[in-house]
């Protein structure tokens, strides 16, 4: 999963990015944290279930699931026309599975706002307009090409041109591609559009407003609800501070502020929901590990995410709920207690399943 972080300059994108990728590193010493590129980072997904499994089974290694983040700087008004290297940045967004749209919801006279004052709705609109214009350009170019080709009288091309026209009108009306009703002829086009990607709004508030929000974050929540998008509230500055603290101190600090979990956890949960992802585990003495697959994935597909040999030579999967495995303390004991079932290749994997794949190659 790759998430692109967008937003106006100075809203806190890089602070969010740094704290997310750093908290991942702090969370798991075993995960080989790498920064391939200053703007590309890998974050380990915090998961209490994995912690419990690794603890109960005394695993030598704990490997969390990961999310890739890209800090996409440089989106400004006019980006879709190439201003501020706009096109280059927009290209990065096209490669992501989802978009995290950071909106400034904190006041600080030391941090310059590019348009004068804190204005979440206006800021979000500026960015959304650029993304929409970029998509409109993509669709118009494609429409032009298809219309020309359709002059030959090809019925399929004519239908595609008509569908593209309808999509263009939808975008021209100011609506993102993600609210466009499904159309099979446009599947490929829609995949290449930025506004077709799921969006998670991130209301970046000051530390005092994390627990209850403020009038700015309320605006962002309203905006997200109107679009059928998700919104999370976090304080980038607080996140970057707690990323530096040992876990117990971080927890104490959060409690003091009246916050239950770090913003990153809520962020990841929302992102999983948004993308229709679920987590399953493999667990043993050697290693306990979290894996991410799409909802509806079968046991065989899930096995394939571990290793292609496991998919090719799949025989069956031993499956147990993570709680039962933790309670039993070992896979063998869980089997003795009949907490492990045998499932076939088409079994739809459930969130929290712990699996042992039997295969033969
Ligand atoms: N007061 C305050 N300042 C913040 C917060 N988040 C970020 N900043 C500051 O805002 C400035 C811009 O942040 P940065 O992450 O570089 O923004 P970007 O341009 O969107 O990447 C930096 O000086 C940050 O320290 C916050 O929650 N509260
Ligand atoms: Mg930045």
Residue 351 sits in a domain of what CATH number?
Answer: 3.10.20.30
Instruction: Report residue 63 as tokens.
Output: 């490997």
pLDDT of 83 above 70: no
Fill in the DSSP letter of residue 174.
T
- From the list 264, 8, 213, 216, the residue with the least C-alpha distance to 105 is 216
Q: Which domain holds residue 329?
A: 296-359
Strand pairing category for 341-343 and 314-321: antiparallel
For residue 218, give the H/E element and its range: helix 215-227
Give the ligand whose atoms come closest to the C-alpha of residue 100: 1
Would you say 228 and 179 are in contact if contact means Cβ atoms under 8 Å apart? yes
pLDDT of 84 above 50: yes
Within 13 Å, how many C-alpha atoms sit on residue 125's CB side? 9
**Residue 208 near ligand 1, beta carbon < 6 Å:** no
* Gap between the Cα atoms of 185 and 167, Å rounded: 11
Looking at the fold, whether 332 and 257 belong to one and the same domain comes out as: no
Torsion angle defined by CA atoms of residues 279, 283, 286 and 291, in that order, rounded to the nearest 10 degrees: -10
Q: Who contacts 277 (Cβ-Cβ below 8 Å, separation ≥6)? A: 1, 271, 292, 293, 294, 295
Looking at the fold, whether 306 and 251 belong to one and the same domain comes out as: no
pLDDT digits (tens, 9 = 90+) for 294-307: 999 999 999 999 99
Looking at the fold, whether 115 and 256 belong to one and the same domain comes out as: yes
In a domain, 50, yes or no: yes
**Residue 101 near ligand 1, beta carbon < 6 Å:** no
* Gap between the Cα atoms of 11 and 114, Å rounded: 9
Pocket-testing residue among 12, 70, 120, ligand 1, by greatest number of atoms within 8 A of Cβ: 12
Where residue 255 sits, what CATH number does that domain have? 3.40.50.300
Q: At what angle do helices 13-27 and 263-275 cross, to 10 degrees?
A: 100
Q: Where are the beta strands (DSSP E) in 173-276?
A: 199-204, 230-234
Residue identifier of the C-alpha nearest atom 19 of ligand 1: 10
- Tokens 């000051």 correspond to 206
What is the per-residue pLDDT for 31? 37
Fill in the DSSP letter of residue 180.
S
Last residue of a domain, one of 225, 243, 277: 277
Looking at the fold, whether 230 and 342 belong to one and the same domain comes out as: no
Looking at the fold, whether 60 and 116 belong to one and the same domain comes out as: yes
In a domain, 198, yes or no: yes
Which residues on adjacent β-strands are paired with residue 300? none
Banded model confidence at residue 148, pLDDT cuts 50, 70, 90: very high
In a domain, 256, yes or no: yes
**Residue 14 near ligand 1, beta carbon < 6 Å:** yes
pLDDT digits (tens, 9 = 90+) for 208-260: 999 899 999 999 999 999 888 889 999 988 888 887 888 889 888 888 888 87
Residue identifier of the C-alpha nearest atom 14 of ligand 1: 12
Last residue of a domain, one of 247, 277, 307: 277
Looking at the fold, whether 208 and 339 belong to one and the same domain comes out as: no
Fill in the DSSP letter of residue 28.
-
In a domain, 218, yes or no: yes
Total domain count, the chain: 2
**Residue 192 near ligand 1, beta carbon < 6 Å:** no
In a domain, 113, yes or no: yes
Q: Where are the beta strands (DSSP E) in the chain?
A: 2-6, 40-44, 61-63, 66-71, 98-104, 199-204, 230-234, 277-283, 287-294, 314-321, 341-343, 353-359
In a domain, 160, yes or no: no
Instruction: Report residue 270 as tokens.
Output: 């929302």
What is the per-residue pLDDT for 56? 97
- Tokens 């096209």 correspond to 94
Looking at the fold, whether 78 and 201 belong to one and the same domain comes out as: yes
Looking at the fold, whether 197 and 339 belong to one and the same domain comes out as: no
Residue identifier of the C-alpha nearest atom 6 of ligand 1: 12
Last residue of a domain, one of 217, 249, 277: 277
pTM of the model: 0.84
In a domain, 263, yes or no: yes
Looking at the fold, whether 265 and 318 belong to one and the same domain comes out as: no
Mean pLDDT of 252-277: 82
Measure 104 CA to ligand 2 centroid, in angstroms: 13
Mean pLDDT of 148-170: 93
Looking at the fold, whether 260 and 342 belong to one and the same domain comes out as: no
Looking at the fold, whether 112 and 11 belong to one and the same domain comes out as: yes
In a domain, 301, yes or no: yes
**Residue 11 near ligand 1, beta carbon < 6 Å:** yes
Among 29-43, 260-274, 276-290, 313-327, the minimum mean pLDDT is found in 29-43
Looking at the fold, whether 18 and 105 belong to one and the same domain comes out as: yes
Tell me the pLDDT of the chain averaged across its residues: 88
pLDDT digits (tens, 9 = 90+) for 20-55: 887 444 333 333 333 335 588 888 888 899 999 999
């Amino acid at each position: 999963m790759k998430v692109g972080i967008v937003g106006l300059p100075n809203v806190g994108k890089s602070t969010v990015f740094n704290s997310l990728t750093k908290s991942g590193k702090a969370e798991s010493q075993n995960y080989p944290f790498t920064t391939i590129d200053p703007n590309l980072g890998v974050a380990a997904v915090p998961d209490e279930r994995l912690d419990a499994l690794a603890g109960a089974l005394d695993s030598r290694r704990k490997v969390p699931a990961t999310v890739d983040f890209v800090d996409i700087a440089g989106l400004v008004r006019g980006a879709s026309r190439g201003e501020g290297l706009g096109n280059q940045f927009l290209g990065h967004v096209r490669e992501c599975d989802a978009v995290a749209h950071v909106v400034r919801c904190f006041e600080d006279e030391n941090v310059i706002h590019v348009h004068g004052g804190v204005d979440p709705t206006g800021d979000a609109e500026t960015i959304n307009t650029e993304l929409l214009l970029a998509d409109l350009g993509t669709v118009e170019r494609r429409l032009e090409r298809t219309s020309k080709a359709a002059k030959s009288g090809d019925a399929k091309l004519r239908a595609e041109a008509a569908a593209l026209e309808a999509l263009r009108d939808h975008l021209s009306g100011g609506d993102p591609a993600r609210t466009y009703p499904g159309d099979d002829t446009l599947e490929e086009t829609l995949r290449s559009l930025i506004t077709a990607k799921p969006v998670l709004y991130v209301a970046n508030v000051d530390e005092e407003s994390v627990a209850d929000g403020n009038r700015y974050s309320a605006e962002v929540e309203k905006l997200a609800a109107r679009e059928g998008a998700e919104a999370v509230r976090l304080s980038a500055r607080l996140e970057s501070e707690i990323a530096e603290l040992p876990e117990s101190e971080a927890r104490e600090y959060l409690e003091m502020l009246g916050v239950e979990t770090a913003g990153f956890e809520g962020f990841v949960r929302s992102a999983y929901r948004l993308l229709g992802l679920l987590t399953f585990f493999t667990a043993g003495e050697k290693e306990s590990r979290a894996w991410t697959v799409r909802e509806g994935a079968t046991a065989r597909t899930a096995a394939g995410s571990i290793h292609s040999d496991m998919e090719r030579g799949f025989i069956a999967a031993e499956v147990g709920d993570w709680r039962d495995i933790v309670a039993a303390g070992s896979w063998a004991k869980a089997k003795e207690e009949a907490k492990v079932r045998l499932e076939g290749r088409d079994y739809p994997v459930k969130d929290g399943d712990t699996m042992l794949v039997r295969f033969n190659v």
